[in-house]
């Protein structure tokens, strides 16, 4: 499993984290990732000077009451869209799926050859992530901003 985070300005490279094989992604494990990786990255990349919206899909770990509470506490209600704010499975409302660009581009590039090991696929995914076109990401993100 890969955790992908996209910043709309692309100035600070977002982390792409590989979750260990066999790890159950329950709310407790997900909240640990948020605390260890997302919150420090947001603070480093944006500080208190930029308004941002953190959005995620409706995976059970994402919409757990304890996760929503943690996100509200850490990010503030103005910087986080709760699960009831968007349609649960709409790729049109998820930046990582918008125009089928981000995940499909990573998948297409990383799967264009066979991989014999987990290390090989990790390297291919990291390479594809690093080679994403920043202009396309900024364009896609601009479609999510308020007028």
In a domain, 71, yes or no: yes
In a domain, 89, yes or no: yes
Nearest-Å Rg of the Cα atoms of the chain is 15
Residue 54's SS3 state is strand
In a domain, 29, yes or no: yes
Residue range 76-89: mean pLDDT, rounded: 76
Indicate which CATH number applies to the domain containing 68.
3.30.420.10
In a domain, 113, yes or no: yes
Residue 4's SS3 state is strand
In a domain, 147, yes or no: no
- Tens of pLDDT, residue by residue over 22-63, are 777 899 999 998 998 888 888 888 777 667 778 787 789 989
Identify the band that residue 10 occupies on the pLDDT scale cut at 50, 70 and 90. Answer: low
- Tens of pLDDT, residue by residue over 125-145, are 888 888 877 777 777 777 665
Q: Are 46 and 74 in contact (CB under 8 A)?
A: no
Total domains in the chain come to: 1
| Residues of the domain holding 82 | 2-142
Dihedrals phi, psi of 82, to nearest 5 degrees? -70, 165
Q: Are 12 and 38 in contact (CB under 8 A)?
A: no
* pLDDT for position 100: 47
Question: Is the pLDDT confidence value at 98 over 80?
Answer: no
In a domain, 103, yes or no: yes
According to DSSP, the residues that pair with 2 across neighbouring strands are 18
In a domain, 13, yes or no: yes
How many other C-beta atoms can be found within 10 angstroms of the C-beta atom of residue 143?
Answer: 11
pTM, two decimals, is 0.74
């Amino acid at each position: 499993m890969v955790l992908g985070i996209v910043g709309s300005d692309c100035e600070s490279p977002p982390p792409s984290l590989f979750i260990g094989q066999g790890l159950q992604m329950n709310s407790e494990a997900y909240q640990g990732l948020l605390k260890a990786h997302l919150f420090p990255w947001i603070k480093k990349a944006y500080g208190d000077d930029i308004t941002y919206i953190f959005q995620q899909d409706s995976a059970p770990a994402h919409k757990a009451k304890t996760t929503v509470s943690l996100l509200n506490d850490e990010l503030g209600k103005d910087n986080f869209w709760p699960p009831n704010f968007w349609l649960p499975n709409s790729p049109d409302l998820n930046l990582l799926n918008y125009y089928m660009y981000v995940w499909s581009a990573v998948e297409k590039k990383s799967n264009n050859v066979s991989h014999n090991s987990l290390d090989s696929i990790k390297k291919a995914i990291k390479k594809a992530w690093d080679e994403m076109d920043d202009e396309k990401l900024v364009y896609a993100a601009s479609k999510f901003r308020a007028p």
